[in-house]
């Protein structure tokens, strides 16, 4: 299993190109199931999760190919994917595949909408919380689906096709919003989704669906009104930049000091996180080419932050912010309100010398003058990113084990950081 070695203490200076968003690319690939025509996605990040989903979609009969780089295309630029689901040959998503990646459960809505049946394994448990799927199932039931649970599988049927319905989500869920939205676009009649998640990746998928011929009002708001159409066609769509990757590198620069242009990043996708950094004393400049982040001299100020659904502070940046705050004088407080067990990084950061106490859903971080390198274990994707930030700040060597978590969601992480002066290498075995 690969490991990453970081020798801390280097400032970051230069440019980091921001990749396409993983959490948009995945549902966009799934949207290919909705049409027999070709869906072309540009700026897709080369990530383990993306490739894994490609295999899952192939299993359903999707013809999936990656266009090679053309002359003049930058090495760091994302890939172009072509996906064509002319015939769906299998409406089952088996346990072996869905258990590897939770987002693959989102094939349920599109398969049901297009084929009027689907059999999808319940996703496995996950390190960050119980993560149920009740909201997905209730949403699809409201569109007329009959749903049974059989041997760990969700078996869904809609013999005459789905029909429009009214869904008021009792809790904001990104995945349930994706699933129901992608089902509703091919349902007969109108669907109203209230308390929909407003994460920008949902807006990106909705915009792509509109290019495919879907009728959706209220994109990027909590109320989505969808007029079902009988048929969607192919489209060409460019994946929006990854706001979590952007925030992660912004926090890395804030942690090490230096000045970096996050090239291609869009500030409007993570205003709340940028606000938190600015209030802490990080300099953020919004430019036409991306976001310039700088931290030179002077201590940062502690923060008091709660994770919230978009547009609030994202849970996917909670671990990275915590790593940054470990060396900020004074006491910071971070409350996690989305997932009940998303603090696995706390004990690993403690191995680097961080002082963090946990009480229920709240972590209190008391800044220490210095972290020291150690062996640490990546537990989930974003927790791994927090350990990279910890390692970049720490004196001496940090070895991060189980980096396959990082490979699921950060494209060319070592290369991007190394080019800005970090001492970081992958130890392959």
Which residues make up the interface to ligand EPZ (CB under 6 A)?
A: 23, 26, 102-103, 129, 131-136, 171, 173-176, 197, 315-316, 338-339, 381-382, 409
**Shortest spacing between CB 123 and ligand EPZ, in angstroms:** 8
Q: Which helix (H) or strand (E) holds 57?
A: helix 48-60
- Backbone phi, then psi, for 335, in 5-degree steps? -110, 130
**Shortest spacing between CB 408 and ligand EPZ, in angstroms:** 8
Number of alpha helices (DSSP H) and beta strands (DSSP E) in the chain: 14, 24
Cβ-closest residue to ligand EPZ? 175
Catalytic residue (one of 115, 126, 208, 420): 126
User: Catalytic: 208?
Assistant: no
- Backbone phi, then psi, for 311, in 5-degree steps? -90, 15
Its sign, for the CA torsion 344, 172, 313, 23, is: positive
The count of residues in the chain is 429
* CB neighbourhood size of 219 (10 A): 18
Q: Which is nearer to ligand EPZ, 258 or 314 (CB)?
A: 314
User: What is the DSSP secondary-structure string of 143-199?
Assistant: TT-EEEEETTEEEEE-TT--B--EEE-SS--HHHHHHHHHHHTTSBSEEEEES----
- Backbone phi, then psi, for 269, in 5-degree steps? -85, -10
Which tokens go with 368? 């220490």
Q: Which is nearer to ligand EPZ, 85 or 244 (CB)?
A: 244
Q: Which is nearer to ligand EPZ, 11 or 131 (CB)?
A: 131
Q: Which is nearer to ligand EPZ, 119 or 382 (CB)?
A: 382
Q: Which is nearer to ligand EPZ, 51 or 67 (CB)?
A: 51
Known catalytic residues? 126
């Amino acid at each position: 299993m690969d490991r990453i070695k970081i020798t801390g203490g280097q400032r970051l200076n230069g440019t980091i190109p921001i990749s396409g968003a993983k959490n948009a690319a995945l549902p966009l690939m799934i949207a290919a199931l909705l049409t027999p025509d070709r869906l072309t996605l540009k700026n897709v990040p080369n990530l383990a999760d993306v490739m894994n989903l490609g295999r899952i979609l192939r299993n359903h009969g999707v013809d999936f190919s990656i266009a090679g780089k053309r002359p003049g295309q930058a090495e760091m630029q994302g890939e172009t994917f072509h996906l064509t689901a002319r015939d769906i040959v299998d409406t089952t998503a088996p346990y072996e595949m869905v258990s590897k990646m939770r987002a693959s459960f989102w094939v349920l809505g599109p398969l049901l909408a297009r084929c009027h049946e689907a059999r999808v394994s319940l996703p496995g448990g996950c390190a960050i919380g119980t993560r149920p799927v009740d909201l997905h199932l209730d949403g699809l039931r409201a569109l007329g689906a009959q749903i049974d649970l059989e041997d760990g599988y969700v078996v869904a049927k809609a013999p005459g096709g789905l029909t429009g319905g009214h869904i008021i989500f009792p809790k904001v869920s990104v995945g349930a919003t994706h699933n129901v939205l992608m089902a509703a676009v091919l349902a007969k009649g109108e669907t109203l989704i209230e308390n929909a998640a407003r994460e920008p990746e949902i807006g990106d998928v909705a915009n792509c669906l509109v290019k495919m011929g879907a009728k959706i009002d209220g994109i990027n708001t909590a109320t989505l009104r969808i007029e079902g159409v009988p048929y969607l066609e192919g489209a060409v769509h460019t994946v929006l930049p990854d706001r979590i990757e952007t925030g992660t590198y912004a926090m890395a620069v804030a942690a090490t000091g230096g000045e970096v242009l996050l090239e291609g990043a869009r500030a409007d996708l993570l205003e709340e996180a940028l606000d938190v950094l600015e209030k802490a004393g990080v300099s953020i400049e919004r430019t036409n080419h991306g976001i310039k982040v700088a931290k030179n001299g002077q201590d940062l100020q502690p923060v008091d932050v709660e994770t919230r659904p978009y547009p609030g502070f994202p849970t996917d940046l909670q671990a990275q912010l915590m790593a940054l705050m470990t060396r900020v004088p004074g006491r910071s407080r971070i409350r996690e309100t989305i997932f009940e067990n998303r603090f696995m990084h706390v004990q690993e950061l403690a191995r680097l010398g961080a002082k963090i106490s946990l009480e229920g859903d709240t972590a209190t971080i008391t800044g220490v003058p210095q972290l020291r390198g150690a062996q640490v274990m990546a537990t989930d994707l974003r927790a791994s990113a927090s350990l990279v930030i910890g390692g970049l700040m720490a004196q001496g060597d940090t070895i991060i084990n189980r980096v396959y978590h990082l490979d699921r969601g950060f494209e060319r992480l070592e290369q991007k950081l190394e080019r800005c002066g970090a001492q970081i290498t992958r130890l392959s075995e």
